[in-house]
């Protein structure tokens, strides 16, 4: 699972960033171009691991405690929504998670906190090496929730060998797998590898940044156009897809000063190097599986948790990922620090729009730029359509039901004495062999920080909420996504009855899945 990586940020989805390991997975497996997530970290992870709508399991937003609040805002996974790790462990699997967790409420992340119910061990993982909160420094993990944990306690060494965190977690993933292959060769393995990359802070060894110096001086406008052309050449988007408006409140590249262009190009070079470095770590894991004779029999899902990150605004952040930061002139003076342990940076918002090509917006938003993400599935022994592209509408909560379907395991009625709610996701196993298989679902609703959306049978309605106003006054937009892949053409005036139908359906679905009252 990648973090804050947009639909267009990987080679198989049109990026100029070098991702040879991911390219190989795509060429040996299948890619989906209508895979959607929940636009932000914790909700996507909750839906991924439980196979249910995030609101239904208590994770409407980030993992923050909300005592006394509505059930869908509690900030942890309801015990009635068991995870795939709990189910697989009960069926003989050895279960491991390395990297970012972000499903433990902020009030429970101290090592001294007594309960581990909402830690990985409480959700079915026998092995854990990583951090509990939403991000950590890639060189010096520190601070509550951002320290490296092993099992239920602080790791003896926060970052063994002083390696980049992405290297450290892949090292540990390989250790866990090797231990299982050697000591219990008949026992199957489940590994959940959740990178911090490419979430802020964007940090990576200088050699990876150097590769991209000179690439991004052309600017975000030109780069977005190039990715769009490449996407059509690859067949990952339809030939009739339209490139959505590229700016809204953001400046064009030519409107920037020379200093701004120099600084902002280096930010994007750092981000690109971060992704290439992550790709290299994925390659190390795959190579280990091949050396162990396990690759052909391993089912691999590679995806991102939401769209590219816009939180640093137009200017970007250098010394901390969020909040006010130093001036662009100071950034220029310290440019050689960018990407090192002397920075804690996040790139400028227009680069996030590039990451979401060809869609509108980015992380947090209900448009394609926020929810449409890469999904690559590789299973050499069983997937014969090497390099195939799938166009079915697939949701992140479909992954767990798919795995259970493959393994012929039924979701249990009870886990640890707690009656379980039904799965909301659907298996996509049929799409592995049949490019024309039907969509696993015809309807999916969305709600994030007041913004709403609903997809239904080739149509999508979106409502953007303004804080302090009544939800009933929110303006709605309508898109015919069956014909308009990138949600570029708003058609509510042309089809008012369809919009009315979808608005009513949104309320019905929100009530059905426990997403009310609106917050």
Helix H, strand E, coil C: the string for 30-71 is EEECCEECCCCHHHHHHHHHHCCCCCCCCCCCCCCCCCCCCH
User: What average pLDDT is seen over the chain?
Assistant: 96
Summarised one tens digit per residue, pLDDT across range 24-52 is 999 999 999 999 999 999 999 999 999 99
Instruction: State the pLDDT at residue 12.
Output: 99
Instruction: State the pLDDT at residue 163.
Output: 87
Instruction: State the pLDDT at residue 377.
Output: 99
Instruction: State the pLDDT at residue 334.
Output: 97
What's the residue count for the chain? 519
Domain contains 240: yes
Last residue of a domain, one of 412, 441, 470: 441
Residue 162 scores a pLDDT above 80: no
451-456 and 459-463 beta bridge pairing: antiparallel
Instruction: State the pLDDT at residue 145.
Output: 80
Residue 111, domain CATH: 3.40.720.10
Nearest to 476 by CA among 488, 464, 486: 464
Residues ≥6 apart with Cβ < 8 Å to 21: 279, 280, 282, 283, 286
The residue whose two tokens read 């609903």 is 454
Integer Cα distance of 112 and 118 in angstroms: 14
Instruction: State the pLDDT at residue 201.
Output: 97
Last residue of a domain, one of 401, 426, 441: 441
Question: Do 458 and 427 share a structural domain?
Answer: no
Question: Do 73 and 58 share a structural domain?
Answer: yes
Integer Cα distance of 369 and 120 in angstroms: 30
List, in sequence order, every beta strand (DSSP E) within 39-179. 94-100, 127-131, 149-150, 153-154
**CA dist 125 → 84, 95, 165, 171, 238 (Å):** 10, 5, 20, 18, 40
Question: Do 362 and 477 share a structural domain?
Answer: no
Token pair listed for 131: 């951090």
Instruction: State the pLDDT at residue 161.
Output: 64
What does the longest C-alpha to C-alpha distance in the chain come to? 65
Taking the mean position of all CA atoms in its chain, how far away is CA 135?
13
Last residue of a domain, one of 424, 441, 458: 441
Domain contains 2: no
Instruction: State the pLDDT at residue 94.
Output: 98
Summarised one tens digit per residue, pLDDT across range 68-108 is 888 899 999 999 999 999 999 999 999 999 999 999 999 99
List, in sequence order, every beta strand (DSSP E) within 143-297. 149-150, 153-154, 189-194
Give the containing element (helix H, strand E) for 395.
strand 394-395
- Report the range of poorest mean pLDDT among 139-153, 387-401, 461-475: 139-153
Mean pLDDT of 473-484: 97
Instruction: State the pLDDT at residue 144.
Output: 76
Instruction: State the pLDDT at residue 158.
Output: 66
Number of domains in the chain: 2
Host domain of residue 399 = 11-441
Residue 400 scores a pLDDT above 80: yes
The residue whose two tokens read 């390991």 is 21
Instruction: State the pLDDT at residue 412.
Output: 98
Question: Do 381 and 519 share a structural domain?
Answer: no
Summarised one tens digit per residue, pLDDT across range 102-161 is 999 999 988 889 899 999 999 999 999 999 999 999 999 988 789 999 999 988 776 666
Domain contains 3: no
């Amino acid at each position: 699972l990648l973090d804050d990586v947009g639909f267009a940020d990987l080679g198989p989805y049109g990026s100029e960033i070098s991702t040879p390991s991911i390219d190989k997975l795509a060429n040996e497996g299948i890619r989906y171009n209508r895979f959607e997530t929940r636009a932000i970290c914790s909700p996507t992870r909750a839906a991924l691991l439980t196979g249910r709508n995030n609101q239904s399991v208590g994770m409407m937003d980030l993992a923050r405690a909300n005592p006394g609040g509505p059930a869908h805002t509690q900030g942890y996974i309801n015990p009635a929504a068991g995870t795939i790790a709990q189910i697989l462990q009960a069926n003989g699997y050895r279960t491991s998670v390395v990297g970012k967790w972000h499903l433990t409420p902020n009030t429970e992340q101290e090592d001294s906190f007594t309960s581990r119910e909402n830690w990985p061990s409480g959700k079915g993982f026998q092995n854990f090496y990583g951090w509990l909160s939403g991000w950590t420094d890639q060189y010096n993990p520190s601070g509550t929730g951002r320290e490296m944990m092993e099992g239920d306690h602080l790791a003896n060494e926060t970052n063994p060998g002083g390696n980049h965190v992405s290297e450290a977690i892949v090292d540990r993933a390989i250790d866990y797998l090797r231990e299982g292959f050697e000591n219990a060769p008949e026992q199957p393995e489940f590994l959940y590898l959740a990178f911090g990359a490419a979430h802020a802070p964007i940090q990576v060894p200088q050699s990876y940044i150097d590769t991209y110096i000179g690439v991004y001086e052309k600017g975000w406008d030109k780069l977005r156009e190039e990715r769009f052309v490449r996407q059509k050449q690859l067949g990952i988007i339809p030939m009739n897809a339209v490139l959505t408006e590229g700016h809204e409140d953001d400046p064009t590249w030519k409107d920037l000063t020379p200093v701004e262009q120099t600084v902002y190009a280096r930010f994007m070079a750092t981000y690109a190097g971060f992704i290439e470095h992550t790709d290299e770590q994925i390659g190390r894991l795959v190579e280990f599986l091949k050396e162990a004779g396990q690759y052909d029999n391993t089912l691999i899902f590679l995806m991102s948790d939401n769209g590219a990150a816009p939180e640093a605004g137009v200017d970007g952040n250098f010394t901390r990922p969020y909040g006010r930061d130093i001036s662009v002139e100071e950034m220029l003076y310290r440019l050689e620090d960018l990407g090192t342990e002397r920075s804690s940076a996040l790139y400028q918002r227009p680069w996030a729009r590039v990451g979401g090509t060809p869609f509108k917006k980015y992380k947090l938003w209900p448009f394609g730029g926020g929810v449409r993400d890469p999904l690559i599935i590789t299973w050499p022994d069983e997937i014969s359509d090497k390099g195939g592209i799938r166009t079915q509408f697939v949701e992140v909560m479909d992954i767990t039901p798919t795995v259970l379907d493959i393994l012929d395991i039924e979701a249990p009625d009870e886990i640890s004495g707690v009656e379980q709610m039904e799965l909301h996701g659907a298996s996509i196993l049929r799409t592995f062999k049949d490019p024309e298989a039907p969509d696993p679902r015809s309807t999916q609703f969305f709600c994030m920080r007041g913004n709403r959306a609903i997809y239904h049978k080739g149509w999508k309605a979106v409502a953007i909420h303004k804080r302090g106003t009544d939800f009933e006054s929110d303006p709605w937009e309508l898109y015919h996504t069956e014909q308009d892949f990138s949600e570029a053409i708003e058609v509510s005036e042309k089809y008012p009855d369809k919009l009315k139908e979808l608005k009513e359906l949104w309320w019905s679905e929100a009530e059905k899945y426990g997403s009310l009252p609106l917050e």
